[in-house]
Structures are given as C-alpha cells and as structure tokens.
Amino acid sequence: MRHITLLSLVLAGIAAMPAAAQQQSQESEKPENKIVCKRDAETGTRFKKKTCHSVAEWDLISEENRRAAKELVGPAVNGARGN
C-alpha cells in the first residue's frame, strides 16, 4: 500500500511538471520580462560596460533618472529666477 501511495505521488508530480514549465515559459515571454542588454561608455577605458535588465526594470530606471533630473533642474525650468 505504501508503494502505491508513493508511486501515485511521484506520477502526480511528473504530470504537473509540464504545466508548471509551460506557465513559466509563458511568463518569461511577456514583454516586460524580456531581458535587454545595453552597452554604456565608461570614462577611462575604450571598453563599454554591458548592463542587462528586464524591460520593466529599464522603465523603472528611466523613471528614477527622470525624477532625479527634475529635482536638480526643476526650479530653473519652472521659472524661478536667481539674483
């Protein structure tokens, strides 16, 4: 009886594996999960640095950079005048 129970659990696990693999592959095919690599020039070397992130991470990085630039330049752009 113990062997039959163990065998049924193993078979159930094997049957569930293709479904889990298919779900994982569908998630990785989503555009926001696609990995994109960019090469950036570094000061002091001819070689470029390779940086890889998902599309969603690149969007987040761009938004953070935009926000930081607005904080630095914001008062001058918004019409504040210095004496």
Q: What confidence tens digit (pLDDT) does each residue in 27-63 have?
A: 556 778 899 999 999 999 999 999 999 999 999 999 9
- Within a domain: 80: yes
- Is 10's pLDDT higher than 70? no
| Distance separating alpha carbons of residues 64 and 37, to the nearest angstrom | 18
- Within a domain: 16: no
**Domain hosting residue 38, numbered range:** 31-83
Nearest by Cα to 36 from 62, 63, 56: 56
- Within a domain: 46: yes
- Is 2's pLDDT higher than 90? no
**Predicted local confidence at residue 30, as pLDDT:** 75
- Within a domain: 44: yes
**Predicted local confidence at residue 43, as pLDDT:** 93
- Within a domain: 8: no
Pairing relationship of beta strands 35-41 and 48-54 according to DSSP bridges = antiparallel
